[in-house]
């Protein structure tokens, strides 16, 4: 099982057209107690999303209470991705934590706003601004 303590996870697989897809998650620490998950790739239905779920489950078990998803490198998100973000927020809330979103642009920002996720979790231009919102 993947541990959230440090490093990155790459999950290569092929989409329905045979193209290789990779969801990359890098964990960074902001002082004093904020964890940033830098996510790059597509957050869509499929096995790649499982790694994001596992990362948040691990953080919740470690009772990490301030988590930021840095979406700067995310190029596409579908309804499964929105569900995972909301589920992640719920898991963190159960342990007294909070999730913030940062860096979404283009299609990803549009989807987050269209689904009102930005109003529920907060969507910030940068991780620094997201961190300041805790």
The pLDDT tens digits for 31-89 are 889 999 999 999 998 777 888 999 999 999 999 999 999 999 999 999 999 999 999 99
Q: How far is CA 51 from the centre of its chain?
A: 10
Query: Taking the model in full, what pTM does it have?
Result: 0.84
The two most distant CA atoms of the chain are separated, in Å, by 44
φ, ψ for residue 118, nearest 5 deg: -60, -30
pLDDT higher than threshold 70 for residue 4:
no
Q: How far apart are CA 95 and CA 72, in angstroms?
A: 26
**Number of other residues whose CB lies within 10 A of the CB of residue 126:** 13
Residues ≥6 apart with Cβ < 8 Å to 31: none
Q: How many CA atoms lie within 13 A of 9 on its CB side?
A: 21
pLDDT confidence band for 17 (50 / 70 / 90): low
Q: What pLDDT score was predicted for residue 7? A: 47
Q: Which domains does the chain have, with CATH numbers?
A: 8-132 (3.30.750.24)
Q: How far is CA 68 from the centre of its chain?
A: 7
Q: How far apart are CA 52 and CA 39, in angstroms?
A: 9
Quick: pLDDT tens for 98-119. 999 999 999 999 999 999 999 9
């Amino acid at each position: 099982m993947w541990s959230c303590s440090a490093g990155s996870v790459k999950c290569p697989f092929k989409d329905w057209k045979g193209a290789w897809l990779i969801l990359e998650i890098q964990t960074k620490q902001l002082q004093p107690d904020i964890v940033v998950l830098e996510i790059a790739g597509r957050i869509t239905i499929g096995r790649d999303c499982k790694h994001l779920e596992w990362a948040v489950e691990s953080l919740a078990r470690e009772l990490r209470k301030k988590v930021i998803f840095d979406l700067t490198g995310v190029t596409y998100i579908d309804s499964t991705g929105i569900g995972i973000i909301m589920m992640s927020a719920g898991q963190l809330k159960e342990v007294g934590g909070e999730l913030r979103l940062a860096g979404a642009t283009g299609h990803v920002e549009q989807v987050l706003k269209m689904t009102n996720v930005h109003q529920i979790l907060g969507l910030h231009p940068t991780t620094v601004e997201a961190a300041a919102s805790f």
